Amino acid sequence: MTTLDSKIPEGSLADKWTNHKNKIHLVNPANKRNIDIIVVGTGLAGGSAAATLAELGYNVKAFCFQDSPRRAHSIAAQGGINAAKNYQGDGDSNYRLFYDTVKGGDYRSRESNVYRLAEVSANIIDQCVAQGVPFAREYGGLLDNRSFGGVLVSRTFYAKGQTGQQLLLGAYSAMNRQIGRGKIKMYNRHEMLDLVVVDGKARGIIARNLVTGEIERHSAHAVVIGSGGYANVFYLSTNAMGSNATAAWKIHKKGAYFANLCFTQIHPTCIPVSGEHQSKLTLMSESLRNDGRIWVPKKLEDAKAIREGKLKPTELAEKDRDYYLERRYPSYGNLVPRDVASRAAKERCDAGFGVNKTGEAVYLDFATSFERYGKEQARIKHLDENDTKLVEKLGKEVIENKYGNLFQMYEKIVDQNPYETPMMIYPAAHYTMGGIWVDYNLMTTVEGCYAIGEANFSDHGANRLGASALMQGLADGYFVLPYTIGDYLANDIRTGPISTDLPEFEAAEHNVKSQIEHFTNNKGSKTVDYFHKKLGKIMWDKVGMARNAERLNQAINEIAALREEFYKDVKVPGNANSLNQELEKALRVADFLELGELFAKDALHRNESCGGHYREEYQTEDGEALRDDENFAYAAAWEYKGKPSEAVLHKEELHFENIKLVTRSYK
Amino acid sequence: MSGMITSSIARKVAMALSGLFLVLFLTQHFFINITSVFSADAFNAISHYMGTNAVVQFVAQPILIFGVVFHFIMGFVLEIRNRNARGISYFSYNGSANSSWMSRNMIWSGIVILAFLGLHFYDFWIPEIVHKYVESHPDDSTRYFGEMVAKFESPVRTGLYVISFVFLALHLLHGFSSSFQSIGFNNKYSKGLKGFTVAFAILIPLGFVFIALFHHFNQ
Amino acid sequence: MNLTLKIWRQEDAQSKGKIVTYKIDDVSPDMSFLDMIDMLNEQLNNKGEDPVAFDHDCREGICGSCSLQINGEPHGPDTGVTTCQLHMRMFKDGDTIFIEPFRAKAFPVIKDLIVDRSAFDRIQHAGGFISINTSGNTVDANAIPVNKHNADMAFDAATCIGCGACVAACKNASAMLFVSAKVSQFALLPQGRIEATDRVLNMVRQMDDEGFGNCTNTGACEIECPKGISLENIARMNREYLSASLKG
């Protein structure tokens, strides 16, 4: 086991980034023209990085598996993006955003990275507004803010419930400009299937053209991975169907360490599972917790009656409802961080208070907000604020204005009108804080290979706060990577074009082709989805919201066995020389089957509860997470050694010089 | 500027403007015709004026002819392009779920109107031109009413006129309000305007139908 | 419920396609339409037949990947939803459902129900952006107040997901709603006004070059648009285009 060098610059926390930028090497504009960079993934991180690198003058090749960069799953982010603008004058600052993020992450993130993130957050908003992103505004024409879980200020900028869409379209428009100028060469419907490392440096990728099936070699002076997270290892998640960990896993196999896999976010407000047929879960934005109150019945018999359809939630008297988040966490109430809210929901449902047929749902109720907003509107409009009907109508209009699209989405899926009856929600896998280990410059342990956005492990520690994923993706892509990559590329100005005829390309291509051949020739009996569902079930049951050593050990064995069965018995119809969606899935699931095992292994080794990682053995008397700072204040980075069970652990000790480690309390 | 002639938007604006111009023409035509119901003399007087005034004959009439021809040719050009834009057609196409019959069949209502124009020219315009400019007749300011009434003696012709006006109504029901959208007029007044165009599209052709039937039954 | 599906099958871009009939039983009304096709594919897969290829990704109605002309309407009979959010409760036991790809010459079929919508990307390359570079030094986000009404309208236009339903619904396969949404978003914001003239001219030129049809104001696009993009945007683009042509 070695200690990792995270290359944190010298100086005080607030000066590190500025100092670093002042000292790193630059590439002159004429030389940038001779340097190629591959960017894999076109979400907020990949898209913004590709656009910015092209603006700087590099030749960018961007890859996405979707038919257009605009469809990357960042588009589905709903609630908002944080920035320490302090427009509301409520005492926000870079330090406070930094502090909230480190605390929210349960003290498992790197201070210097988080501070840098807070520092550039304000620039993101400026940049996006200049790009034409239509953020919500107040009547005076200035930007509006809302609050998110885990913080006490209003620093979240939003565009109704479609903030991710608007930000991604902003990055996409910046890309479009560069594609139009020829500075970005866009490879849509392409999947990266291997990293090519030459003399220890990342020099290219092998990609499959998903339309023709052709295996292509692409070379570059640096490779940037912005391919998102691995929550689809759970099969059922809020990720897109195509979201996958293949690019990240392939670089892991070529030497990039994978860190903190067990830090996975289970989002508290998702639409509950309705049946076996489901392949995908839908998120209801956390912003709903601004105005919705979460509850279950106080009495078991009421819960039972509701489950059996004998009692309607609206009929239950106020005194018979248990607003358990407000009860347990009076100071943050419904706005506790996601990990806390998710576990609390699971705790209530496990205790028998669940409210849907499967017993795995709690209510999110807007009745109080209808009244509060309705009265406010009545006063503004000089109407009768004692007219309950009118107040309710006005209140519903306000809510519709804020979350209309979410309410509509809920109604379409569940077939219940959330304006009339409370929503039902349940936690679901949503985001992965863990990811490829990167240093301060966002470089992985493979020289010249970078990881940005959700794909890396860096900024959120053990739990991510709401509206921070968009912030991190854009910070990495717009404002961090474009600087730090220059430091590395400054040594490459004399390298010239990289040939794709090098033996390393040959070998990587051969590798990819033989894996594909295995699948297309394997006349097994079970579909890819069969294995993916099975893996998902193991992950959710044994490596999900609450874990223990026994079940984790079982999971490790079961996943390894499942993987073996997969290679023997999977059936992939069709051939490799055309569009073949089953083959695409098979290649992705193959990687999830390895990743899942390492995930369980990481969860097993971390003998503490912290953030999204909750080990039943390590809890306080009242069931809160029990962290172990003495032994586990480090990032666990795993080195690939042939198979997941043999992965070697490397530690990056986390030093907290500006924040005192305390037990996270939202009470 | 070249886009002004060839671009899809320019063509559609041209379509709209020529259409609006034809609506104006139709309006004045209606008001002249309707006088025939009340007073043969007034009808004769206006017809004589229109038929002999140099500005009407040599400025307005060519513009009108150009407008008509342009509207039709452009209509066909756009229709061909639009049909090509689909490529392979749908097995199942449920157009009524999202659009009115009128809006989807402008080409057909237009073709019926074109056919009607042929008949109308054959009935009135060509004899008139021949009468005035090919053959020489003494100036007679009272002939118009009688010539017109004579045409509506035939029930077949009257029937064809009535059918044509129904198609004209269908054409106008979409076309009139649509032309405002094409020239970029869509705002809080659009709803009121739409009401007006619908009323116009029904009342004016109905008026023409009334005139035709009136003269048919008052032989 | 039990259904008969009539699905367009086409090997690849070069092949000729045809409608193939499938029977599917025990469909739950709570399934989404794509869950139902997943189920069909699982069955085809188990029988050793080639599953039906279709585009899909987020399955929450925002990425714009899914398409499908269902019983003659893009995204099917429900309003305000994409195919992935369409639920089987919209259909009845015994129904026959036609499933075809979005049809337009500018959207050639790649395989089965998958079409190539890169024409939309190329239209955006021609001008769907504001030409500013990334820097930490743009003006403060609140330096230019934006009238809330305009900001809201810009947002409404910007919610377009680029799925292509407007093209599929239009009897002329016109892309005007899509293009006008993008033109409108920028035209309504002070940041976008600076390049407004070139933007609308370039984007419309590219739209015409791609071979989309002409708008004849049938309004089908607005009704079928899963995001409810308004026809007002088309009128706005017409105005923008006219004034830009006269200027430039």
- Helix, strand and coil in chain A, % to nearest 5: 45, 15, 40
Mutation test of the interface with chain C: which of A68, A85, A86, A119, choosing the one with the most C Cβ atoms within 10 A? A68
Counting as contact any 3 or more CB pairs under 8 A, the partners of A are C
pLDDT of residue B3: 55
Neighbours of A421 (CB within 10 A): 15
Lowest-confidence segment of A535-544, B22-31, B137-146, C218-227 by average pLDDT: B137-146
* C49 token code pair: 């037949």
| H or E element, residue C34 | helix C33-46
* C244 token code pair: 């830009």
Determine contact, residues A191/A178, Cβ cutoff 8 Å: no
Question: Residue B53 is which amino acid?
Answer: N
CATH superfamily of C3-110: Beta-grasp domain (3.10.20.30)
Determine contact, residues A123/C136, Cβ cutoff 8 Å: yes
| Contacts A–C by Cβ distance under 8 A | 214
pLDDT of residue A402: 82
CB-nearest partner of C171 from B84, B95, B185: B95
Query: CA nearest A525 in C: which residue?
Result: C46
Determine contact, residues A106/A610, Cβ cutoff 8 Å: yes
Distance from CA of B181 to the nearest CA of C (A): 5
What value does the mean pLDDT take over residues A587-615? 97
Question: Which tens digit of pLDDT belongs to each residue from A337-346?
Answer: 888 899 999 9
CA-CA distance, A346 to A360, in Å (whole number)?
8
Contacts of B85 in chain C (CB under 8 A): 104-106, 172-174, 211-214
CB-nearest partner of B11 from C207, C214, C235: C214
- Largest Cα–Cα distance of chain A, in whole Å? 80
Determine contact, residues A375/A396, Cβ cutoff 8 Å: no
Q: For A639, which DSSP code?
A: E
Cα A472 versus chain centre, distance: 10
| Contacts B–C by Cβ distance under 8 A | 151
- The reply to whether residue B184 touches residue C236, judged by beta carbons under 8 angstroms, is yes
Question: Residue A118 is which amino acid?
Answer: A
Half-sphere CA count of C215, side-chain side, radius 13 A: 34
pLDDT of residue A149: 75
Determine contact, residues B194/B175, Cβ cutoff 8 Å: no
User: What CATH number was assigned to the domain covering residues B3-85+99-217?
Assistant: 1.20.1300
- Determine B/C contact with 3+ CB pairs under 8 A as the test: yes
Cα A347 versus chain centre, distance: 24
Percent with pLDDT over 70 in chain A: 100
CB-nearest partner of C60 from A66, A76, A176: A76
- The reply to whether residue A132 touches residue C192, judged by beta carbons under 8 angstroms, is yes
CA-CA distance, B189 to B198, in Å (whole number)?
14
The domain made up of C117-247 has a fold known as Fumarate Reductase Iron-sulfur Protein; Chain B, domain 2 (1.10.1060)
Q: Within the 69-98 window of chain A, which residues sit less than 8 Å (CB to CB) from chain C?
A: 70-73, 75-76, 85, 87
Residue listed under structure tokens 């064809």: B160
Q: Which CATH class is domain A267-428?
A: alpha beta
Question: Which tens digit of pLDDT belongs to each residue from A120-148?
Answer: 999 999 999 999 999 999 999 999 998 88
Taking the Cβ of residue B90 and every Cβ of chain C, the question of whether any pair is shorter than 8 Å is answered with yes
Residue C240, classed as helix, strand or coil, is: helix
Question: Residue B77 is which amino acid?
Answer: V
Taking the Cβ of residue B80 and every Cβ of chain C, the question of whether any pair is shorter than 8 Å is answered with no
- The reply to whether residue B94 touches residue C72, judged by beta carbons under 8 angstroms, is yes
Determine contact, residues A445/A256, Cβ cutoff 8 Å: yes
Radius of gyration of chain C (CA): 20
pLDDT at A458 over 80: no
Low-confidence ranges of chain B (pLDDT < 50): 1
pLDDT of residue B140: 84
Taking the Cβ of residue B219 and every Cβ of chain C, the question of whether any pair is shorter than 8 Å is answered with no
What value does the mean pLDDT take over residues A228-232? 97
CA-CA distance, A646 to A660, in Å (whole number)?
35
CB-nearest partner of C60 from A67, A282, A578: A282
Show which residues of A are catalytic.
338
What is the predicted ipTM?
0.97
Q: Within the 141-200 window of chain A, which residues sit less than 8 Å (CB to CB) from chain C?
A: 141-143, 159-160, 162, 164-166, 169, 172-174, 176-177, 179-180, 186, 188
Determine contact, residues A368/A449, Cβ cutoff 8 Å: no
Query: CA nearest C192 in A: which residue?
Result: A132
CA-CA distance, A662 to A563, in Å (whole number)?
41
Q: How far apart are the first and last CA of chain A?
A: 39
Give which of C26, C1, C176 is closest to C106, Cα–Cα: C176
Mutation test of the interface with chain A: which of C129, C184, C205, choosing the one with the most A Cβ atoms within 10 A? C129
The residues near A219 (Cβ < 8 Å, ≥ 6 apart) are A36, A196, A203, A204, A497, A498, A499, A500, A505
Give which of A78, A114, A166 is closest to A475, Cα–Cα: A114
Question: Which tens digit of pLDDT belongs to each residue from A233-245?
Answer: 999 999 999 999 9
- The reply to whether residue C85 touches residue A55, judged by beta carbons under 8 angstroms, is no
Neighbours of B218 (CB within 10 A): 9
Q: Where are the domains of chain C?
A: 3-110, 117-247
Mutation test of the interface with chain B: which of C20, C206, C238, choosing the one with the most B Cβ atoms within 10 A? C238
CA distances from A152 to A148, A155, A639, A665 (A): 8, 9, 39, 13
Residue A6, classed as helix, strand or coil, is: coil
CA-CA distance, A233 to A248, in Å (whole number)?
13
pLDDT of residue B4: 56
Residue listed under structure tokens 């599209």: B201
Taking the Cβ of residue B11 and every Cβ of chain C, the question of whether any pair is shorter than 8 Å is answered with yes
Give which of A68, A168, A54, A190 is closest to C121, Cα–Cα: A68
Give which of A202, A180, A249 is closest to A37, Cα–Cα: A202
- The reply to whether residue C217 touches residue B181, judged by beta carbons under 8 angstroms, is yes
Q: Within the 609-638 window of chain A, which residues sit less than 8 Å (CB to CB) from chain C?
A: none
pLDDT-derived band at C247 (thresholds 50, 70, 90) equals confident
Determine contact, residues A143/A87, Cβ cutoff 8 Å: yes
Given 2.30.30.240, 1.20.58.100, 3.30.360.10, 1.10.10.60, which CATH number is that of A501-632? 1.20.58.100
Taking the Cβ of residue B217 and every Cβ of chain C, the question of whether any pair is shorter than 8 Å is answered with no
- The reply to whether residue B86 touches residue C104, judged by beta carbons under 8 angstroms, is yes
- The reply to whether residue B181 touches residue C231, judged by beta carbons under 8 angstroms, is yes
How many residues make up chain A in this entry?
A: 667
- Determine A/C contact with 3+ CB pairs under 8 A as the test: yes
CB-nearest partner of B85 from C72, C77, C173: C173
**DSSP letters spanning A140-162:** TSSBP-B--TT-SS--EE-STT-
Q: Within the 443-462 window of chain A, which residues sit less than 8 Å (CB to CB) from chain C?
A: none
Give which of A453, A437, A475 is closest to A6, Cα–Cα: A437
Query: CA nearest C96 in B: which residue?
Result: B92
* C188 token code pair: 């309504």
**Which pTM does this prediction carry?**
0.95
Mutation test of the interface with chain B: which of C178, C216, C245, choosing the one with the most B Cβ atoms within 10 A? C216
Judging by beta carbons within 10 Å of its beta carbon (0-12, 13-18, 19+), is residue B82 exposed, middle or buried?
A: buried
